[in-house]
A and B are shown apart, each in its own frame.
Chain A
Amino acid sequence: MTIDAARGAASDSANLPDPTGHFGRFGGRFAPEALMAALDELTREFEAAKADPAFTGELDELLTNYAGRPSLLTEARRFAEHAGGARILLKREDLNHTGSHKINNVLGQALLTRRMGKRRVIAETGAGQHGVATATAAALLGLDCTVYMGEVDTRRQALNVARMRMLGAEVVPVKNGSRTLKDACNEAFRDWVATVEDTHYCIGSVMGPHPFPMMVRDFQRVIGVEARRQVLELTGRLPDAVVACVGGGSNAIGIFHAFVPDEGVRLYGFEAGGDGVDTGRHAATLAGGSLGVIHGMRTFLLQDDDGQTLETHSVSAGLDYPGVGPEHSWLHDTGRAVYRAITDAEAMDAFGLLCRTEGIIPAIESAHALAGALKVGRELGEDAVIVVCLSGRGDKDMHTAAEWFGFITGEEGGR
């Protein structure tokens, strides 16, 4: 397929994935046979639930009266002064209950879990946002909950570990491999293979075997649907660019999706560049990865010549993942979305800037999008309107940030 033809096809991406879960050459199901029946059941139940007004009504009610939707669209005027004068509008997913976009997806999957007659959910988490959201939804619906978290991440996100336990979830620190998000994913899959009859694996991003990338996208689409309406109401036109951070990529797909058919709207995903893509210490999958299979999907990933997954590095536990959702690989391949890397230092500069100019402490993940928005703003000029997905709030990251900026030392932090 030529790039032009692919771009045309991408604008039709509401029809993707195909019935076998493929976004072009990406996606699919690379999963143990033991899980295939559960994946088929989940696909059927999700399709039925989407068409069932009782299900969608209950989800809408929870999103409105529990999660706090619609989230605000806040103009960041003082922050935008550093972006070449472009207008910057923040889609405030940080204001959702539990403090991030993760709750949108989790409420949907928790309702599906109950609909399937299962009594337990498991989840993996990096920064803890998805773990906290899952523990929250499980508490709300009376489901048992186990959350797998890399041991490294349990240390840097200790507050979220406590929060999950407070909500009644069991948190299991994973001591295999790099002890970060990808290893938590492996452990969650292992649990699921053994418990699939009564357990739903509540995947937290647009990744994994079909139908997860499609299902999580559909639960997160609300971000972009709202943002598109809000920006039209506020400015009378569509934005010039929509910007989001990308680890697995759920907040990014969520805000991109409603804009994909709007060809004049540029879509930018910002990945974790760590110390810099050329240093090898990063988690920028689309900038530095190659095609392969990980965690049940075909997508871009960071791997060596033998197909072994490379260790990743990011100041953000939530972006510290060597793969990316298959739909992002598709948008990257077709050129519909542009993906770039933001270094730790650039992200933390933007983090500090948003705090001081707007009185908003962002998640470090979201700070990657903010740093990207500053660059995009300078490139597009002062007439540009840029919507940034502020995917989460930074309370959980205060320890990392306070150490980064030298407000506390390691000793004072008790670690």
Chain B
Amino acid sequence: MSTSVAFAKAQADGRAALVGYLPAGFPSYQGAIDAARAMVEAGCDVIEIGLPYTDPMMDGPTIQDAVHRALTGGVRVADVLRTVEAVAATGVPTLVMTYWNPVDRYGVDAFARDLKSAGGAGLITPDLTPEEAGPWLAASDAHDLDRVFLVALSSTDERIAKIVDVCRGFVYAASLMGVTGARSAVDTGAPRLVERTREALARRGPDAPALPVGLGLGVSNGAQAAEVAGFADGVIVGSAFIRRLLDAPDEKAGIQAVRAFAAELAEGVRRGA
């Protein structure tokens, strides 16, 4: 199911969608699945499963730490696809967020095929821009998968137009010039970036499919979620979930903390709308 369906449902409820991120294999193979399911039960509308990678160029220390533990724990790409399958079975659109090399190595079309058959909704690709995405554009068309590219504060209007043209599912607006990680305040450039992205979407003409804009990087509490929900179609949260798992005395307590935090954020996106 395309992610846009979940966004449309949230919109019909008069609120922003809540998107939660966790890497596969962290805190353990089963723990990641249980935590993601807890996030869904507590109100996440979309789940991003991170594919652990040895060289996470864009990630801050929290995600790096989690991903390192997942890799040390032996997680493989096949485990990531199985995790997607288990999480997608909840009925919530489940995407894979991945650096490009593991997909390139797997084979772009083979990865798309296996992701689709696992019930995955598509890919978020932080180090793949439309210019280099030819094989992925073809594979995602062939297997009817979402392709979520990022727009950044530094993107020109021309680049934003080029990016939204190839996105499917939603557009990921990275609100901070920086790596992933919870921040105490939402960057003030974020509303303007969402606005510029919507302007680019509007310029596509009346027949172009609706494409929501999710905002990610930096949200760490319900109040911030409410603030972002006031101007974006979706609120994306990652590091703050991982922080709860890292800080918990054991996996069970961690998953409880994740559930409680997801509920706080879910309440936030309803308050903010």
Report A's interface with B, CB cutoff 8 A: 20, 28-38, 176-177, 182-183, 186, 189-190, 193-197, 290-296, 298, 303, 305-309
Which residues of the other chain, B, contact A37 by a CB distance below 8 angstroms? 152, 154-156, 159
Cβ 8 A contact of B58, one of A190, A196, A306, A308: A190
Asked if residues A33 and B149 are in contact (CB atoms below 8 Å), the reply is yes
Q: Which A residue sits closest to B77, measured CB to CB?
A: A306
Residue B126 CB within 8 A of the other chain: yes
- Docked pose: A177 CA to B60 CA in angstroms: 14
A32/B105 contact (C-beta < 8 A), A20-B131, A306-B76 known = no
A193 touches B150 (CB 8 A): no
B interface residue numbers (CB < 8 A to A): 53-60, 64, 68, 71, 76-77, 99-106, 126-129, 131-132, 149-156, 159, 163, 174, 176-179
Q: CB-CB < 8 A to B179: which residues of A?
A: 190, 193-194
| Alpha-carbon distance A224/B13, docked complex (angstroms) | 67
Flag if B105 contacts A292 (CB, 8 Å).
Answer: yes
For B128, the chain A residues whose CB sits under 8 A away are 30
Contacts known (A292-B105, A293-B100, A307-B105); A36 close to B54, Cβ less than 8 A = no
Q: Assess whether A303 is in contact with B150, with CB atoms less than 8 Å apart.
A: no
Least CB distance, B74 to chain A, in whole angstroms = 11
Contacts of A189 in B (CB 8 A): 57-58
- Most chain B beta-carbon neighbours within 10 Å: one of A31, A183, A308: A308
Checking B102, B127, B154, B155 against A307 with a beta-carbon cut-off of 8 angstroms, the contacting residue is: B102
Which chain B residues lie closer than 8 Å to A298 at the CB level?
104, 132
Please, which residue of chain B has its CB at the minimum distance from the CB of A40?
B156
Most buried by A among B104, B105, B106, B159: B105
Residues of A within 8 A of B103 (CB): 307
**B178 lies within 8 A of A308 (CB):** no
Least CB distance, A248 to chain B, in whole angstroms: 15
Instruction: Pick the residue among A32, A291, A295 that contacts B126 (CB under 8 A).
Output: A32
Q: B131 near A307 (CB under 8 angstroms)?
A: no
Q: Which of A30, A176, A182 contacts B127 (CB 8 A)?
A: A30
Q: A176-B68, A194-B178, A308-B71 are contacts. A36–B100 as well, Cβ < 8 Å?
A: no
Query: How far, in whole Å, are A193 and B60 apart by their CA atoms in the complex?
Result: 11
Q: Are A194 and B177 in contact (CB-based, < 8 A)?
A: yes
- Whole-angstrom distance between the Cβ of A40 and the nearest chain B Cβ: 8
Residue in contact with A36 in the complex, picked from B71, B76, B104, B159, CB distance below 8 Å: B159
Q: Given that A36-B159, A307-B105 are contacting pairs, would A186 and B56 also be in contact in the complex, using a CB cutoff of 8 Å?
A: yes
Which of chain B's residues have a CB closer than 8 A to the CB of A29?
129, 131-132
Q: Shortest distance in angstroms between A361's beta carbon and chain B's nearest beta carbon?
A: 34
By the criterion CB–CB under 8 Å, are B54 and A177 in contact?
yes
Question: CA separation between A190 and B59, bound complex, in Å?
Answer: 7
* Minimum CB distance partner of B78 in chain A: A306
B178 touches A193 (CB 8 A): yes
Give bound CA distance, A339 to B222, whole Å: 56
Q: Give chain B residues whose Cβ lies under 8 Å from the Cβ of A33.
A: 126, 129, 149-152, 154-155, 159, 163, 174
In contact, A193 and B155 (Cβ under 8 angstroms): no
Residues of B within 8 A of A35 (CB): 154
Chain B residues near A34 (CB-CB < 8 A): 150, 152-154, 174, 177
| B150/A190 in contact, CB under 8 A | no
A126 CB to nearest B CB, Å: 15
Considering the chains assembled together, what is the distance between the CA atoms of A164 and B66 in angstroms? 32
Chain A minimum-CB-distance residue to B127: A30
B68 and A293 contacting across the interface, CB-CB below 8 Å: no
B58 and A294: CB pair below 8 A? no
Q: Is the CB of B58 within 8 A of A295?
A: no
CB-based nearest A residue for B163: A33
**Are B55 and A196 within 8 A (Cβ)?**
no
Residue B105 contacts which of A28, A193, A194, A306 (CB distance < 8 angstroms)? A306
Residues of chain A lying within 8 A (CB to CB) of residue B127? 30-32, 293, 296
Pairwise interchain contact A295-B154, C-beta atoms closer than 8 A: no
Tell me whether A305 and B57 are in contact in the complex, defined as CB-CB below 8 angstroms, given that A33-B151, A37-B156 are known contacts.
Answer: no
State in angstroms the CA–CA spacing of A298 and B151 once bound together. 22
Q: How far in angstroms is the closest Cβ of chain A from B127?
A: 5
Q: A30-B128, A32-B127, A33-B152 are in contact. Are A295 and B105 (CB under 8 A)?
A: no
Closest chain A CB from B187 CB (angstroms): 12
